[in-house]
Amino acid sequence: MTATANRRNSGNLAAKAVGLAFLIVCLLIAETLIRADAISRYIVPPPSEIMGSFYRIVTEEHVARRFLLTAAECLAAGAMITVFGIAGGVLMHRFKLLQQACETWVAAMASAPVVLCYPLFMVIFGRNAWTIIMIGFIAALPPVILKTIEGLAGTRKVLVNVGRSFNLTPMQQFWKILFPAALPTIFVGLRLGLIFALINVVGVEFLINYGGLGQLIEDLAERYDLAGTYAAICFVILVSVLFFMTLEKIERWLRPVD
């Protein structure tokens, strides 16, 4: 058994090494082609130049401040989806008629391109952080509502019956039985919501040229600082990936062992 697990681990490691090696080879080929002028460096700067720009954009472009601003916007949208999304889900679970009437609408909202309303939000809230936060909030709300309903409805019957046998009040039944049982599913919704919020926050920052990391890319692109633009894009991708990984870890930690 241990030998099989060891073999599997070494196989995984070899595969990951091949993936990384492939990436490095691609970068080296790009570097060679750009240096040989087969690809114009005015379209794609050499990877070495992009890596060199990392330090420059971190020190000169106030990346820490921008990162904190984007994080604060995401956090504000995240807090709002947590409060309103879970409350909406609980309300729809409690009043079945409301759920039957509105659940399809919420599902339709989840597939609607809300971010395209950003000009509308700019008119309402102005070109400021509220526009960004509100788009993040509206775009990220549907998965939280839908997953809250799913989590509450999926509570095992036996747990609900235990609550009834203890004569729990509806409030106690909710806080001691339904909510804890639904929490892992609710967090799946929150994770999806936070991912949507981050995507929309960074996207709108870029589109309206305001705020944190999204604006940094737009700013550098307008200055035609090619290496800086590529480095900033890589930086945003890196931040996003780390954010998803952290959320995934928290979700795994919350999920009960089957």
Partner 1 sequence: MAETGRLTRAGEGRPLVSMVTLLRAAIILAGLALWEFLSHSGLLYRDVVPSLLAIARALGGLLASPNYYFNLGVTAAEIGAAIAIGGLSGLAVGILLGANPFLSKAFESYIYYLGPTPKIIFFPVMIMWFGVGPESKVALGTLSCFFPVALSVAAGMRGIDRVLIRVGESFRANTWQTVMKIYLPAMRHPIINGVRLGLGVALIGTLLAETKLSNKGIGFLIINAYSTFDMPRMYANLIVLFVLAIGANALVGRLGGLDSIKRV
Among 26, 68, 83, 123, binds partner 1 (CB under 8 A): 123
Residues 236 and 202: their CA atoms lie apart, in Å, by 9
Angle (CA) 217-190-247 rounded to 5° is 65
Count residues binding partner 1 (CB under 8 A): 50
102 binds partner 1 (CB under 8 A): yes
195 binds partner 1 (CB under 8 A): yes
- DSSP result, 50-90: HHHHHHHHHHHTTHHHHHHHHHHHHHHHHHHIIIIIHHHHH
98 binds partner 1 (CB under 8 A): yes
10 binds partner 1 (CB under 8 A): no
Is residue 146 a contact partner of residue 107, using CB atoms and an 8 Å limit? Answer: yes
- C-beta closer to partner 1: residue 136 or 163: 136
Buried b (16+ CB within 10 A) or exposed e, 146-170: bbbbbbbeebeeeeeeebeeeebee
Residues 179 and 152: their CA atoms lie apart, in Å, by 7
15 binds partner 1 (CB under 8 A): yes
24 binds partner 1 (CB under 8 A): no
Amino acid at the residue 41: R
- C-beta closer to partner 1: residue 127 or 176: 127
- C-beta closer to partner 1: residue 29 or 101: 101
Residues engaged in binding partner 1 (CB under 8 A): 11-12, 15-16, 18-19, 22-23, 43-44, 97-98, 100-102, 108, 111-113, 115-120, 122-124, 195, 198-200, 202-203, 206-207, 214, 217-218, 221, 226, 229-230, 233, 236-237, 240-241, 244-245
